[in-house]
Structure 1
Amino acid sequence: MPRQIDDTQLLDSKTRRKLEDQRRMQFRRAIEDRIESRRLNQEISDYPDLIAAAYLSSARGSRRSARQAG
């Protein structure tokens, strides 16, 4: 069975370490974004009336901007 060659094996150690760090940071940011969005969703779900108010105010704002543009 042919062995697949990883592109990082062909790079020098400094470049390989840099790429690994970039991937690690990207993964870490994704985890932090997910945690933050879950926390915000939890806070918002405690106040469902605020969700409706935010939706209504954004809908009014988009209608106003559409009228001004037209």
Structure 2
Amino acid sequence: MARDFDGTYQPNAKARKQQEKDQRRMEYRRAIESYCDQRQLLRDLADYPELQALTVWQASAATSPKNAPQLR
């Protein structure tokens, strides 16, 4: 580990590349999970014909944790 004069961690090129690789891998996994969640939601909605006009984007926005009410 490379330490700067003030004690902060400064990754070398190899560590930086590994970190970038890990970040890309996690983004890919999150995309796969999101896709799987959307497909599951569509399968669940198939049981309710009146909701078939609902798009994936509307449904995922409605169930997004960002849109959940904040508890204080």
- What TM-score range do you get, normalising by the shorter chain? 0.5 to 0.7
Question: What RMSD, in angstroms, separates the aligned Cα atoms of the two structures?
Answer: 2.1
Corresponding position: 1:32 with 2:56? no
Give the aligned partner of residue 15 of structure 1: 16
Q: TM-score, normalised by structure 2?
A: 0.53
Give structure 1 regions of 4+ aligned residues with deviation exceeding 4 angstroms.
none
CA distance in 1, matches of 2:27, 2:16: 16
Q: Higher helix proportion, which one?
A: 1
CA distance in 1, matches of 2:51, 2:41: 13
Alignment of 1:35-54 (within 5 A): 35-51=36-52
| Aligned-pair identity (%) | 40
CA distance in 2, matches of 1:50, 1:26: 30
Give the aligned partner of residue 58 of structure 1: none
Long gaps (5+) in structure 2? 1-11, 55-72
Asked which structure has the greater CA Rg, the reply is: 1
Q: Secondary structure at the match of 1:40?
A: helix
Measure how far apart 1:50 and its partner are.
3.5
- Higher RCO (CA < 8 A, seq sep 6+): 2
Paired amino acid for 1:18: Q
Count of residue pairs the alignment pairs up: 44
Give the aligned partner of residue 68 of structure 2: none
